[in-house]
Amino acid sequence: MAETQQVLNSSNEEESPEQETSRSRRRRFKASNMSFEEMVEMVDILKRANYDGKYGPYLNPNVRKAKIVTKVVNSLRQNFGVRRSKEQLRKRWSDLKLREQDQYRRVKKVPLKSDVQVVVPKSSDFTSDSAQRMIQAIRNMIDVLGKI
């Protein structure tokens, strides 16, 4: 038993390289399934930023795409607390568009942040008392119209 433990320890030392390559220094993120809300956020950002470059020629398209994906990474970390690599997000985007069209259609149906308009009431003086008066005025108008 002691001999097998010693053999295992020596074999691990022999296999480990003395120099680390640049790939081994990269931070690795655990690949997990992406939630629907995360996909909606990703699609929203990529569509708003014209990730696919449909609306014009760009001088440095790869640099531009890298910046856009960085925005997606930061947004997912802030909004969902999830850390994803750029490669994972690029692959997910490609899969959505090419292989999972039904999922992509469902994501596109959700109103995106860029499509939603926030309506702010002009008057903040609307109280329950003024609402009751308005309801009473409407009832009075209905009564008057009903008698005509």
Task: Please write the tens of the pLDDT for every residue from 84-112.
Answer: 999 999 999 999 989 998 988 888 888 76
Half-sphere CA count of 114, side-chain side, radius 13 A: 12
Q: At what angle do helices 36-48 and 61-80 cross, to 10 degrees?
A: 140
Report the alpha-carbon distance of residue 144 to residue 148 in Å, rounded. 7
Domain ranges of the chain: 34-111
Return the amino acid letter for 93.
W
Report the alpha-carbon distance of residue 128 to residue 105 in Å, rounded. 42
Report the alpha-carbon distance of residue 140 to residue 82 in Å, rounded. 56
Q: What is the pLDDT of residues 22-72, one digit of tens each?
A: 555 666 666 778 888 899 999 999 988 999 888 888 888 899 999 999 999
Element (H, E) at 86: helix 86-98
Q: What are phi and psi of 57, to 5 degrees?
A: -75, 140
